[in-house]
Structure 1
Amino acid sequence: MPKLNLFLLVCIFTNTALYAQKSSVIVKFNKPASSFEESLPLGNGRLGALVYGNTAKERIALNEITLWSGGPQDANKDSAYLYLKPIQNLLLEGKNKEAQALLQKNFVSKDDGSHYGNAANAMYGCYQTVGDLFIQWKDTSGIISNYNRVLNIEKAVSEVRFARKGVSYYEKVYTDFKNDVTHLKFSASKKGELNFRISLWRKENATFSVDGNYLIMNGQLLAGNAKAMKFVTMVRSKLKDGSMRIEGNQLIVENASECDLILNTETNYNPATAGLSSSDIISICKTKIDKAFIESESDAFAHHINKYQSFFNRCRLNFAESNSDENLTTNERLERYQSGKSDPAIPALYFNFGRYLLISSSRPGSIPANLQGLWATEYQTPWNGDYHLNINLQMNYWPAEATNLSALAQPLFQFTKNLIPNGEKTARAYYKADGWVAHVISNPWLYTSPGEGAEWGSTLTGGAWLATHIWEHYLYTKDINFLRQHYAVVKGSALFLKSVLIKEPKHNWLVVSPSNSPENTYITNDGFKGQTAMGPTMDMQICRSIFNATVESSKILKIDEDFRNELTALIPKLAPNQIGAKGDINEWLEDWADAEPKHRHVSHLFGLYPYDEITPWDTKELAKAAEVTLNQRGDESTGWSKAWKINFWARLGNGNHAFLLLKDLLKPVRSSALNMKGGGGTYPNLFCAHPPFQIDGNFGGTAGIAEMLLQSHGKDNVIRFLPALPDDKDWQNGTLNGIIARGGFEIDMEWRNGLIQKAIIKNKINDAVCSIYLQKGLKILDNKNKILVSGLKSDRIISFKALLNQEYTINR
């Protein structure tokens, strides 16, 4: 491409990116929130806040990611292993009904487990809201005008503006990434017009007091019949003018023009013990507030933005044109988008919002984002707001590596590592097995036992699936020290899976037993409807993934040669993926019918995504069968399931179907009523509707958009640009900066008319071979503009040695 044209192209992309930027980073409302699904979420990875923007009585719902009821428990049935061989033998004999009866009686938790998602007052526990901060305005008469409420995800701040009786009011809220407190700033356009009461509230397990200038809420949650988790929330205010006084347990602000509030919550969470005392957490809470109090609010906000953007700006997506009406609310834009109107900034906004949510709900040194990230207003959150290990927790972290947020996956890795002691006990109790296991449900107390219902709770690869993220992290970062620190996690999972392998009689394949395919039901040839089986397809795919990861890790670390050789010999003997009579991928070892053909879980395609043993270029027959499977399952489903299917179709290179599902995922939803069959979409505040709200859909959708634009999996981790770009005109021109490919390559890319125009590949880790699926007409240049590859007559894979700290340019 001539230099002048390339310069003009860069200018075009720069200008259009700036033009599109506001509509791709703003969530907007023109009225206060009437429900959780209209509130604006803020978070710094530990603290969370939901802003309602009410003009009479403002509500800020508060969260702290470790605030859980319940506590550590031993939920293992220590004699369960006595029934393992009988269950396995019955399965080998084809007596699934009898095997299932025996398993459902003995392979469950010792107690009531998660209480079927209602464990707020049980030992298992529940993620809970901290409570609320209320701002009650003194004068609520008069017509409200010029109302505007926005979440700026570029700055991680909520802003509310409105006018009443000729006075303009402004509210700013942010969860400070630097000082680790929550800031609220109120101002009025006329002096003396701020008059309101400030109070804290929680409906249970809390007391309220005032100490000097501090509002204080002390609380203690329950673990069964005992008291457990302690927490404290404190608020301190400062005024530019006016006055403040105490009345009961409230702070009264009078005749001020500016008021800053600084709020913090601390808990005594410790996964093994009762943790800190009440006086300890009060001291910690107060110290953080006092430190932030010294700094001016403007300086605090500037430092907050700087730290937040050090994550957010690492990866940015923009489409080159924007037909977004800046006067429309986000929900109005979603409705227009569903009707077929153009708005290229909507998918960019969803992508940016998903990254915002991960930055806001996952902080190194803390615990992972839960089913709701860290945002909840309930005391009994849906499904306890816990960690579901049959996809949901894993999906939360799908965008981390590719979208340049790798460091934020640390809580997931540490959580997985922390599961090992309990997981070893559970492995011995139920399977008399080596290594460690975690089943379907878990919590901050590191629960690893089966659930209370074996039909769903006995899936035995939840922990192994978590461990696959460790190997994926290495593939993206090539961090050998990280691999060395976490090798025992992966090896321990492999040890367990090896221990539960048996030889099935039909093909003499090795299969894990007993297990099930998450939450789904089969129908055997004699009409029995069951869940318990040996060798369900997902388990065998995860088994291969873990065995291969252990083998490769041991080679890299130059350790465990004997165990490596054992696994290497076992891998070819594992039950393979099978294509059924209808041309689909079998979900179970036998080609059984589905009791629910449109089931939301598509677990037997784990090998397509997130694993990569099924690809359209290496395993074409299996890829075709995966497509048949997806068409059988259909598109209509829950929110997170739609998100998973976006990734499936992207992996198959079908951008049009991936886009169809993305558009369906963006369908406006109002109802929060539970719907396990379908109806998933997006709430007005962009939270994903299961329904109700589950954050994994947001994260899965974000990962899906990334997968449509860049892939780097499969044999040799070949980088593929725009592998699933849809034909939709809004997607034909765009930029994606800071996307990460396996091998540790950071990529900035530009495309026009659906074709890559320029890409810059940065190698920041070590000298490495970089493999690219290069389209004809493109060339590769090194950092000295020396042409490495050009003149291709057809698309093909090109490999070259990428040197450390060098950039390589691809252009036309």
Structure 2
Amino acid sequence: MVILLKLKAYLFIGLFCLSGLGVMAQVAPASSRMGDIRAEWLDRASFSGAGERPSGRNVLWYKQSAKVWEEALPIGNGRLGGMVFGGVADERIQLNESTLWDGYALDPNNPESLETLPEVRRLLFADKNNEAVKLAEQTMMGRPRGVKPYQSLAELWFDTRHLSADAYTRSLDLATGVVTVRYKHNGIWYTRESFASAELNAIIVRFTASGGGKISNSFTLRRQQDAETTPHPTDAASLLLKGRLPVKDSDGNARGLRFAAQVKAVVSGGHTRFHDHVLSVEGADTLTLYIAGATNYPGLEHVYDGGLDFPGIPEDTCAAIISNATRQSYEAVKAAHIREHQRYYSRVELELGAQDGKNWHLATDELLEEARTTGQPDPLLVETFFQYGRYLLIASSRPGTMPANLQGLWAWQMNPPWNADYHTNINLQMNYWPAEITNLSEMHLPLVDLMASLVKPGQRTAKVLYGADGWVVHHLTDAWGFTAPADGPQGIWPMGAAWLAQHPWEHYCYTLDTAFLRQRAYPLMKGAAAFILDFLVEAPSGTPVAGKLVTSPSYSPENAFILPNGEHSVFTYGATMDFEIIHDLLTNCVAATKILNIDKDFRNTCLKTLSRLAPIRISETTGRVMEWVEDYDEVEPHHRHTSHLFALHPGNQISVTGTPELAAAAKKTLIARGDDGTGWGLAWKINMWNRLHDADHAFKLLGVLLCEKTLPNLFDNHPPFQIDGNFGATAAIAEMLVQSHVPLKGTRFEVHLLPSLPTALIQGSVKGLRARGGFVIDLTWEDGILQDARIVAEKGGRLTLRLGDRTANFKTKGGEILQLDSHLKRKRT
């Protein structure tokens, strides 16, 4: 992504001043010392450094509270998210609600675009690239030229009288989705448990102590702007924060979303009281907080239905959520949350390190430091990082919720980096790379919902800007259906819908859900293809691919090249990535029409277009895959995007076994790009090295990602934080063990076991990974050699397995289980 700002990743800016906490009169709370916006958020408590690893295999844990946001631990249920700092004297839980987006639905399309498009194309074909850039920027950009940000909902602040912790452990158990803070103060053990219940749509925080009457805290809700906090008007034990985003349209009408957050305290023993906007609890035996958040966002399918204001009162929604949540005991709510979370999380088990290994008792930040010192991540860290990515997807993308954005669900600013929007030139797609292979297929569906919501505005953009049918998205979108070019000329990249259309097809390939293909996937794919078929033009004589179909204008995200006259430019025609995305889309459309036995004429049009599409070309000078239609030199040879290798990953047009010449050129391309990069850029390269079956090079880059681009709470660091690197790396670790992208005859795929197993991970086991064709796979290996495999054929059909150079074919029935040995032979039962 274009780096629009520089942000010190570890600096958490204190923005609020919490006052009036009577219980802390003897020492000013840290929160009242935040006038200096350069200061880090600090817990006043001192820590002894003593702490014990919690039970559980995959846990993030620490021996001190978080000092900055990038050390806090995330919880989420797809709608409501929290970042738990784990403070002793001073605690903060930063809250997000997935629909709290600034802005509103509008028509940003510039009708001048269609008039000037032929001239832009003429200039590009005449090698007048920068003249084309100037004209396109004047006439094709969206109005406005960008989107408004996703925003933080609120922050819950509370403090205690505890200024020291003799023993302290802060942890997130990935298997339960519960953050636990446990510490000892003056001989009393205090415990706090926090989790986000999907069933109740609430965050619950439980306080207990080893002695009676020991829990005394003061609470308030804060937001940087546009909100106020008061005692709840109808609930004497609740705080209420509510507000409205100050958005107005060109006529001066208020269009901003309304929002609210409520916190209710339920105590046994002790009592509660209010002082101004502060809720205090004194002398309780136990305390449970129920936290709700809501907006009046109408849902993706109703963005254009609301007129000037949407119905719904967020504070009423919060009250209903909390009323429902408090009807059950805490024990019942927690047990239900764990059951529901494990319904998804427990589908995959990965074991790469022994529990008695030398680093087993290292805290997570210590494991990271050990990796930085040795340059080699411990297998346990790799295992936990993999499961953390799955945890984050479960927490930030669930059926019926918004899809995961650039920061998933968690953003503390009013204006996060890149607006925490949906960047469609790789970042949004990367978020969902692990969904199918790591057995979280349901978490893929919010992306499909977003795509469906973009069809209507995308159709208008296609017609107004290009005179084309179908639907189009450029390099970003938001919660309000923005589909026009944004930011600058780099935004005139009309390939977003075509790339996104890969995802519903992938969902079908893994699930073989024909009803989904017919009702949801294929209409989205066909609509994206219809735009492409209208957008393509024939390259004129005198060009390198004369007579072939090319895209124009075109752009290779987000790279620039050097023209023969020495000028730099970003605009051209026929960037290689375009051909690769189009090849992927049209090929998948052809396959879908055969499966569904429909649209023969459309199928033939796709096939004819594929035969005329400009090919992937190899540079005669460098032997690398060419990024543009001309063999230009790059402005940044080590650019973070490796767009022209889309056909290697996430596409499948390039493979080691199917196209060895292109695979060799792709390898040279990756070597030239280098082994450094942004967090998400490294994750992409790891996936590509996996596809080349260069396991140790892939693991080397995973080490760089963990050692140099991973924050203390294991969030990916662009920098700053972007969640796509987490998701991309999780998918990459899975593809070290199972790959199923190489197409065979018909609509089948080869399933390759341990295709890219690094020597650093020579022993281990995995259960529950998925392969295309509806197969679920368990593997065990020792000394880098497969010991046994268990494969469930959910739908049945032909299965081709590969292990190294060995292949085996099986005919399977629906529900059949194959038990195979190290030679891919059936085991005797």
Q: Decide: shared fold, TM above 0.5.
A: yes
* 1:526 Cα offset (Å): 2.8
The whole-number CA distance in structure 1 between the counterparts of 2:706 and 2:216 is 40
1:186 aligns with 2:214: no
Aligned residue number for residue 447 of structure 2: 412
The whole-number CA distance in structure 1 between the counterparts of 2:306 and 2:221 is 25
* 1:58 Cα offset (Å): 1.0
Aligned residue number for residue 221 of structure 2: 200
- Which of 95, 108, 111 is residue 75 of structure 1 equivalent to? 108
1:564 aligns with 2:569: no
Structure 2: segments with no counterpart, 5+ residues: 1-52, 823-829
* 1:285 Cα offset (Å): 1.7
Aligned residue number for residue 328 of structure 2: 295
- Which of 84, 95, 116 is residue 117 of structure 2 equivalent to? 84
1:170 aligns with 2:191: yes
Aligned residue number for residue 267 of structure 1: 295
- Which of 229, 236, 239 is residue 215 of structure 1 equivalent to? 239
Tell me the alpha carbon deviations over residues 371-414 of structure 1, each in whole angstroms, 9 at most, x when there is no partner.
Answer: 00010111111110000000000000000010000111100011
Aligned residue number for residue 4 of structure 1: none
* 1:240 Cα offset (Å): 1.5
* 1:23 Cα offset (Å): 6.9
Decide whether the 8 Å contact of 2:800 with 2:809 is kept in 1.
yes
Aligned residue number for residue 575 of structure 2: 536
The code of the aligned residue for 1:223 comes to: V
- Which of 46, 55, 77 is residue 44 of structure 1 equivalent to? 77
Distance 1:257 1:303, change over 3 A: same
Decide whether the 8 Å contact of 1:451 with 1:458 is kept in 2.
yes
* 1:108 Cα offset (Å): 1.0
Q: Counterpart of 1:294 in 2: which secondary structure?
A: coil
The whole-number CA distance in structure 1 between the counterparts of 2:801 and 2:777 is 12
* 1:521 Cα offset (Å): 0.4
Aligned residue number for residue 721 of structure 1: 753
The whole-number CA distance in structure 2 between the counterparts of 1:392 and 1:241 is 49
- Which of 401, 408, 413 is residue 373 of structure 1 equivalent to? 408
The whole-number CA distance in structure 2 between the counterparts of 1:474 and 1:264 is 35
The whole-number CA distance in structure 2 between the counterparts of 1:420 and 1:171 is 45
The whole-number CA distance in structure 1 between the counterparts of 2:751 and 2:675 is 28
Correspondence 1:229-308 to 2 at 5 A? 229-270=257-298, 271-274=303-306, 280-308=313-341
Aligned residue number for residue 799 of structure 1: 809
* 1:279 Cα offset (Å): 6.1
The whole-number CA distance in structure 2 between the counterparts of 1:38 and 1:327 is 19
Tell me the alpha carbon deviations over residues 336-361 of structure 1, each in whole angstroms, 9 at most, x when there is no partner.
Answer: 12333673211100000000000000
Decide whether the 8 Å contact of 2:433 with 2:731 is kept in 1.
yes
The code of the aligned residue for 1:125 comes to: K
Question: Is the deviation greater in 700-709 or in 275-284?
Answer: 275-284
* 1:227 Cα offset (Å): 4.5
The whole-number CA distance in structure 1 between the counterparts of 2:311 and 2:473 is 33
* 1:125 Cα offset (Å): 1.7
Tell me the alpha carbon deviations over residues 174-199 of structure 1, each in whole angstroms, 9 at most, x when there is no partner.
Answer: 00122121100111211111111121
Aligned residue number for residue 586 of structure 1: 626
The whole-number CA distance in structure 2 between the counterparts of 1:90 and 1:553 is 37
Aligned residue number for residue 611 of structure 1: 651
Correspondence 1:748-787 to 2 at 5 A? 748-765=778-795, 767-774=796-803
Aligned residue number for residue 691 of structure 1: 719
Structure 1: segments with no counterpart, 5+ residues: 1-19, 115-123, 669-680, 776-794
Aligned residue number for residue 787 of structure 1: none
* 1:324 Cα offset (Å): 4.8
1:702 aligns with 2:727: no
- Which of 683, 692, 705 is residue 652 of structure 1 equivalent to? 692
- Which of 514, 533, 541 is residue 553 of structure 2 equivalent to? 514
Aligned residue number for residue 152 of structure 1: 173
The code of the aligned residue for 2:293 comes to: T
Question: Is the deviation greater in 335-344 or in 441-450?
Answer: 335-344
Aligned residue number for residue 446 of structure 1: 481
Distance 1:610 1:136, change over 3 A: same
* 1:236 Cα offset (Å): 1.2
Distance 1:146 1:320, change over 3 A: closer
1:161 aligns with 2:161: no
Question: Is the deviation greater in 55-64 or in 334-343?
Answer: 334-343
Decide whether the 8 Å contact of 2:377 with 2:706 is kept in 1.
no
- Which of 128, 133, 153 is residue 151 of structure 2 equivalent to? 128
Decide whether the 8 Å contact of 2:492 with 2:555 is kept in 1.
yes
Q: Counterpart of 2:707 in 1: which secondary structure?
A: coil
The whole-number CA distance in structure 1 between the counterparts of 2:321 and 2:535 is 50
Aligned residue number for residue 483 of structure 1: 517
Q: Counterpart of 1:582 in 2: which secondary structure?
A: coil
* 1:277 Cα offset (Å): 6.3
The code of the aligned residue for 2:797 comes to: A
Distance 1:251 1:126, change over 3 A: same
Aligned residue number for residue 141 of structure 2: 108
The whole-number CA distance in structure 1 between the counterparts of 2:109 and 2:335 is 50
Decide whether the 8 Å contact of 2:221 with 2:239 is kept in 1.
yes
Aligned residue number for residue 774 of structure 2: 744
The whole-number CA distance in structure 2 between the counterparts of 1:416 and 1:180 is 24
* 1:274 Cα offset (Å): 4.5
Aligned residue number for residue 128 of structure 2: 95
The whole-number CA distance in structure 2 between the counterparts of 1:588 and 1:630 is 16
Decide whether the 8 Å contact of 2:221 with 2:229 is kept in 1.
yes
The code of the aligned residue for 2:267 comes to: L
Q: Counterpart of 1:264 in 2: which secondary structure?
A: strand
TM-score, with structure 2 as normaliser: 0.88
Aligned residue number for residue 676 of structure 2: 636
* 1:36 Cα offset (Å): 0.7
The whole-number CA distance in structure 2 between the counterparts of 1:713 and 1:502 is 30
Query: Runs of 4 or more off by more than 3 Å in structure 1?
Result: 20-24, 224-227, 273-280, 324-327
The whole-number CA distance in structure 2 between the counterparts of 1:163 and 1:335 is 26
Tell me the alpha carbon deviations over residues 15-61 of structure 1, each in whole angstroms, 9 at most, x when there is no partner.
Answer: xxxxx996751111111111011001001111100001111121110
Decide whether the 8 Å contact of 1:149 with 1:160 is kept in 2.
yes
Q: Counterpart of 2:690 in 1: which secondary structure?
A: helix
- Which of 434, 458, 483 is residue 423 of structure 1 equivalent to? 458
The whole-number CA distance in structure 1 between the counterparts of 2:310 and 2:698 is 51
- Which of 39, 57, 61 is residue 90 of structure 2 equivalent to? 57
The code of the aligned residue for 1:644 comes to: W
Decide whether the 8 Å contact of 2:114 with 2:466 is kept in 1.
yes
* 1:306 Cα offset (Å): 0.2
- Which of 444, 469, 487 is residue 503 of structure 2 equivalent to? 469
Q: Counterpart of 1:514 in 2: which secondary structure?
A: coil
The whole-number CA distance in structure 2 between the counterparts of 1:439 and 1:130 is 28
Q: Percent identity?
A: 40
* 1:106 Cα offset (Å): 1.5
Q: Counterpart of 2:100 in 1: which secondary structure?
A: coil
